[in-house]
Structure 1
Amino acid sequence: MFPATRLSFLDHYLCDARPWGGLSGFRRFAVEFLYFGIKNARACLFAGLFFLSIFLVPRAGLLGLPRYDVLLVIALTIQIFMIWSKLETLDEAKAIFLFHIVGFALELFKTSGTIQSWSYQDFAYSKVFGVPLFSGFMYAAVGSYIIQAWRLFDLRIRHHPPYWMATLIALAIYANFFTHHYIGDYRWYIAACALGLYARTTVTYRPYDRDRKMPLLLSFILIGFFVWLAENISTFFAIWSYPNQLGAWSAVSLGKWSSWSLLVIMTFTIVCHLKHIKHRIFIPE
């Protein structure tokens, strides 16, 4: 049996500066594209395994255990494995636990009797006020991806806004998920503020051995899009249902894409406060 430290061998190989030697032309494009895909797949390890279990676990559950409870056991097992195998540090696990709490609190509010934005129809022993405990891991999966991608792509952020401004926007995003049920939806005003705040911000990443750049806002939008796709798949498998999906499944509205992109900004801000990530962020004076 290999020791736990050997299980992170893939990470060391992927982060090796030039394992294939010098490249040019189409061969460089092919290798960089391949590495970009593999690194993203590796960064999605927790999310991928978790959502794969959503597809594979039957609605009736397994071994007499309801489906939501099985998903909770699987999520905890994946998380423990990642810490044991050195694929995730304890500090990163603490941040992911924070995402779980933040997401679960939002779930409690959104599924409450007075709001009922969506609902979890199936029975589970691990439900708290109608919300299965595994649901927080869906938010944690987004945080896990950002944390893992930061290491694998050697991410560096240029012209990041001051932390207090970024934190204020993140708090406004989170608060709006609650307050728009009472005082109106200010999502687009907050989004406009975020656009101005991050307009000059770029992310430098390294698929293989050369740095590439892209606007940070574009990465928020792209990640939000893939989370929106995952949400469509999850509702198709009836993990949870929106009111318009109770009779028959229908695609989740495109408006949710903007909500997920904003949630990605909030998640990114939390990740930015990790000590080993802060030194890769440049904030102009």
Structure 2
Amino acid sequence: MTLPTGATRFARIRAHLESVRVAAGPRAWIYEFLLFGFKQGWACLFGGLMLALLLGTHFFYPAHASLHRYDFLTLAALAIQIAMLALRLETVREALVICAFHVVGTIMELFKTNAGSWIYPEQSFLHIGAVPLFSGFMYAAVGSYIARIWRIFDFSFSRYPPVWTTALLAGAIYVNFFAHHWLPDIRLALFACAILLFIRTTIWFTPWHEPRRMPLLLGFFLVALFIWFAENIGTFANAWTYPDQRDGWQMVSIAKLGSWYLLMIISFVLVSLIHGVRRRPG
């Protein structure tokens, strides 16, 4: 495989791993599975490092340090981002996706914390209102994952709906996250619209040599499920707290999985507008 000048370090590692020859049969299946896991892990790099920081600072950060824990998390997230660019572990386009998600996420955080949906119980200097700046990086981690996985697995789609309809759905979901505090919550209608739009859509991805496929709605659910697991880790680490966790940590309500499913659609559509949708016949 010929790589372009300036290719990322991962692109070189990926090319080497994909060029490995393995005899057909169980060995090839196992190798493809391991390669799939490696690529998934690489796509999760930013989010994984953020979760490690949340847990590490929860257990080991000095309680009376002159630099607040939340501020340390913000500076550490910035350092990770700069290092990933400097070491060519991600592309400039992926960094721009992270910035876009940071802005979108921070706006939502400002509204939701003001409405009492959740709180940030610790102090910080680097904040806007009641929202510490590291929180935007948690949304950025989702955007980073989708942007990286899109490129790494060479996504393409069959029977993908018109792009304008997906943008309209994503906009309606985002507005409902705010509007349901005053108006009727229409998330059930939004779920129905998502099913109608994507029920026939298949996502094609390439772990190794041969393209694989799955229903796109199933892909949304699997990613939303892992984000819900990550949110449980985040609240356990006291990065933020829901009202029912003030008297002690408990698992995040399974109902939040629906919220993440809808947010997953917003994230996916935003990245699709940046990367473009490659369609397959059929």
TM range (shorter): over 0.9
Task: Give the SS at the match of 2:180.
Answer: helix
What is the letter of the counterpart of residue 168 of structure 1? L
How far is 1:132 from its partner? 0.1
Q: 2:140 aligned with 1:143, yes or no?
A: no
Q: What amino acid is aligned across from residue 281 of structure 1 in structure 2? A: R
Which residue does the alignment assign to 1:94?
Answer: 96
Between stretches 192-201 and 153-162, larger displacement belongs to 153-162
Name 1:253's counterpart in structure 2: 253
User: Partners of 2:66 and 2:249 in 1: how far apart?
Assistant: 27
1:111 aligned residue (113, 120, 134): 113
How many percent of aligned residue pairs carry the same amino acid? 43
**Match in the other structure for 2:82:** 80
Judged with a 3 Å threshold, the aligned counterparts in structure 2 of structure 1 residues 147 and 216 are, in CA distance, closer, same or farther, namely same
Q: Paired residue for 1:281?
A: 278
1:62–1:87: structure 2 CA closer, same or farther, 3 Å change rule?
farther
Between the two proteins, the alignment pairs up a number of residues equal to 276
Mapping of 1:16-35 within 5 angstroms?
Answer: 18-35=18-35
Displacement of 1:62 in angstroms is 8.3
What stretches of structure 2 of length at least 5 have no aligned partner? none
Please name the residue that 2:132 is paired with: 132
Task: Give the alignment of 1:146-161 within 5 angstroms.
Answer: 146-161=146-161
Give yes or no for the alignment of 1:71 onto 2:51.
no
Q: Is the 8 A contact 1:161 1:283 kept in 2?
A: no
Shift in CA distance, 160/61, structure 1 to aligned 2, threshold 3 Å: farther
Structure-2 change in CA distance of 1:210 and 1:62 (3 Å): farther
Deviation at 1:8, TM superposition (A): 3.4
**Cα pair distance change 1:188/1:130, threshold 3 Å:** same
- Give the structure 1 partner of residue 190 of structure 2: 190
TM-score, normalised relative to structure 2: 0.92
CA distance in 2 between partners of 1:107 and 1:60 (Å) = 26
CA distance in 2, matches of 1:62, 1:29: 52
Calculate the TM-score normalised by the size of structure 1: 0.91
Structure 1: gaps of 5 or more residues: none
Give the equivalent residue in structure 2 for 1:212: 212
| 1:9 aligned partner | 9
- Cα distance in structure 2, aligned partners of 1:123 and 1:7: 41
Alignment RMSD: 2.0
Identify the range of structure 1 (191-200 vs 9-18) with the bigger mean alpha-carbon deviation.
Answer: 9-18
